[in-house]
Structure formats: C-alpha cells, structure tokens
Amino acid sequence: MIDFLSEAQALFEYTQSMRRDFHAHPELGFQEVRTSGIVARELNSLGLEVRTGAGGTGVVALLEGSKPGPVLLIRADMDALPILEETGAPYASQNPGVMHACGHDGHTAILLTVAKMLYSHRAELGGTIKFMFQPAEEGMGGAEKMISDGILENPKVDVALGLHVWNEKPVGWIGVSNGPAMAGAEIFRIKVVGRGGHGAVPHLAVDPILASAQIVTALQGIVSRNVAPLETAVVSVCTIHAGETFNVIPPVVDMTGTIRTFDPSVRVRVLDRFNKTVHSIAEGIGCQAEIDLQKLTPATINHLGTAARVQGIANRLFPKSDVDPANYITMGSEDFAFILEKVPGCFFFIGSANPEKGLDAGHHHPKFDIDETALPRGVALMAAAAMDILKI
C-alpha cells in the first residue's frame, strides 16, 4: 500500500517552493508565460511528453502507465487576479496590481507534485494520465479554449479530476460533493434608457433612475417568488452607475450583476423572469431596457460514481472527522464545469484557512493567503484518487 500522505509530506518543500515562486510572480489570464514555462520545465525534467501553448498559455503532459487503460485528466489552473496584494508575506506579489488571490498558485504547485509522485509509481498504473495546466480560469474562458484546442481528445479523456484550495473552510476539512458542487453563472448588463432633463422639472424627462430602482427591487422577487424554497438561485445586482450632478436627471443607467443556478430548468425560469421583469418595469415607466446576458459557466456537476470514489479515498486517507459528510455545495462558479459537461469526473475542495495564523481572508481578497499545510493534503488526495482510478 502506498502511503500517499507521507509521500506528499516528503515532497512538501518542493510543493511549497513552487507555490511561493508562483505566488511572488503572478500572471493574469492568458499571460501565464513565466508560470507555464516553469510548469513545462518541471514536467520535462520528469521525462514526460509535454506540449506548450495549448489553448493560449496552457501546458499538457502525458504520463503513460505500464499497461493500456483509461485516460484520466487532472487539471490545475494557473492564472492570478488584477488585485493589489496586501498580505505582507515574504513571498508576496512582485508584480504590483496582480495577485494570486484565489489559490491557483497552490493548484499549480499541487499538480506538479502529483505528477512527480505518480511518475515514481508509473509501473503500478494502467492507462494514461493527462496533466492539464490551464490558463485564464477567472472568467476568461481558459477551459473552453483548451477544450477547443483538443485537450479532451488524442488520447480521448475518460474521466477528469480537479480541486480547489478553499478558505471558506479550515485546513483539515475536505469537501466532496456527490452531484452539484458549484453554481452555473451568468453575467448580466442592463442599460435603462430614459430621457434626461432638469431635476426640477421631472415631468419633462423620463427618469431611468426611478425605473432602475424598481428593477433592482423587483429582481429580488424572482428568487423568493419564482424559485421553489428547496431549489437554489441567486440574482445579484453588483454595479449601478448613472448621473453626474444633483440637478440633472440622467438619460441612462447602467447596471451589471450575476445570476447563479444549479438546475437547468431553474436557470431557464430565472432568466425568463429576469428578462420580463426588467423590460416590463422599464417600459411601464416609459424607458427602454437593453439586456446583455452572457453565460459564464455551466454548473459544476460531479459524476456520482467518481465523486463517491473520491469521497471513499478521502475517508481512507484522513480521519473521518476531516471529511465533510454532507455534499458541499457553493454558489461560486468554476470553468472546470465545461470539462464535466463533456466527461464524468469530480471537483473537490481542500480546506485551507487558519484563523489563528491570520490566514482566513476570503478568495479574491487582497489579504488572501492559505495555510500551506493544505498543499500536501491536496497532493495526497489527488494522487490517491488517480491511482485508485488507474490501478492495475
């Protein structure tokens, strides 16, 4: 029996040094040139077959087991965010205004370590592992780019795994959902067009601010009145911009926000109500509304069999109390969903917060940082799951 946790611990220094190096040199989506260069160098040094420039700045490597068998894809994302880091960590970003504030530095370091570990066990593997280092997860379509670049073909992928370090939960916690894991996300833009005029003679104008205020309020009724209480949806208006001064009714209001759902039928219903609500309120007040709806990601839905397998391995690897017995679900979204639309697989979460060390800022926060003891736990679970799927 392989002791995955001990092997991952033995490689911790490597994982940590990689993670800190990526953290200090963050790169935005599709600009991960330095990062993907290091990834390719590390994979090459193992003797793997490596392809760079996949879907932009992505890297793909193949590890052949000792016998034919299924093809398992394991994915890490490499991109950082346009945030000015405020952690004060010794390994803080040296690229001002760009920051690994979601933990993708950790994912890249984990997957490099998993590759190292599985390479040393390749004689015990049947099948092929395809390592996918993806650019631009943060709303820029990196996974879709790699899919259209052929990541799921040649050889054809049978099952896929991915993970996220997770500061919503303390280090030690492991979350695997058997079914829906993360929400599907849409971005919306609403432009409410009225007719500007003097603030003192509003009857001569058509006020888009009044219409917008009523739209924002009415949109809150969709989740409470059109979605069943046991179903899930979110409608959030997150920006609203209009006007320049106190005595001018502006001609236009711009709003943006996001809609999150799991169930496709709930999604259709919410989008339908959203469209009708915005248009009818705007028109009722004499304005015109223009809506631009963009699908960001589908819901991330884990394959039941694969998720149960990962859950079982987590229970063997870690104390029972570490593994969340419930299906952990979050309204965040993840473009790994595009892969899970095409092949069965599992996306799981590794708790990474540690309030006692002050490492508990949320994802995308300028003070975001993880407890690095989460890294070997992610390595061990990912490597163990891969070995279990491809064992001879």
Report in angstroms how near the CB of residue 368 gets to Zn ion at its nearest.
9
* Smaller CB separation from Zn ion, 11 or 102: 102
Catalytic residue among 105, 137, 158, 186: 137
Active site residue 137: yes
* Smaller CB separation from Zn ion, 4 or 22: 22
Report in angstroms how near the CB of residue 252 gets to Zn ion at its nearest.
31
Report in angstroms how near the CB of residue 79 gets to Zn ion at its nearest.
9
Report in angstroms how near the CB of residue 305 gets to Zn ion at its nearest.
25
Active site residue 144: no
Print the SS3 string covering the chain: CCCHHHHHHHCHHHHHHHHHHHHHCCCCCCCCHHHHHHHHHHHHHHCCEEEEEECCCEEEEEEECCEEEEEEEEEEECCCECCCCCCCCCCCCCCCCCECCCCHHHHHHHHHHHHHHHHHCHHHEEEEEEEEEECCCCCCCHHHHHHHCCCCCCCCCCEEEEEEEEEEEECCCEEECCCEEECEEEEEEEEEECECEECCCHHHCECHHHHHHHHHHHHHHHHHHHCCCCCCEEEEEEEEECCCCCCEECCEEEEEEEEEECCHHHHHHHHHHHHHHHHHHHHHCCCEEEEEEEEEECCEECCHHHHHHHHHHHHHHCCHHHECCCCCCECCCCCCHHHHHHCCEEEEEEEEEEHHHCECCCCCCCCCCCCCCHHHHHHHHHHHHHHHHHEC
Residue number closest to Zn ion, CB atom: 102
* Smaller CB separation from Zn ion, 102 or 375: 102
* Smaller CB separation from Zn ion, 178 or 352: 352
Catalytic residue among 79, 263, 371, 372: 79
User: Interface with Zn ion by CB under 5 A: which residues?
Assistant: 102
| Active-site annotation, residues | 79, 137
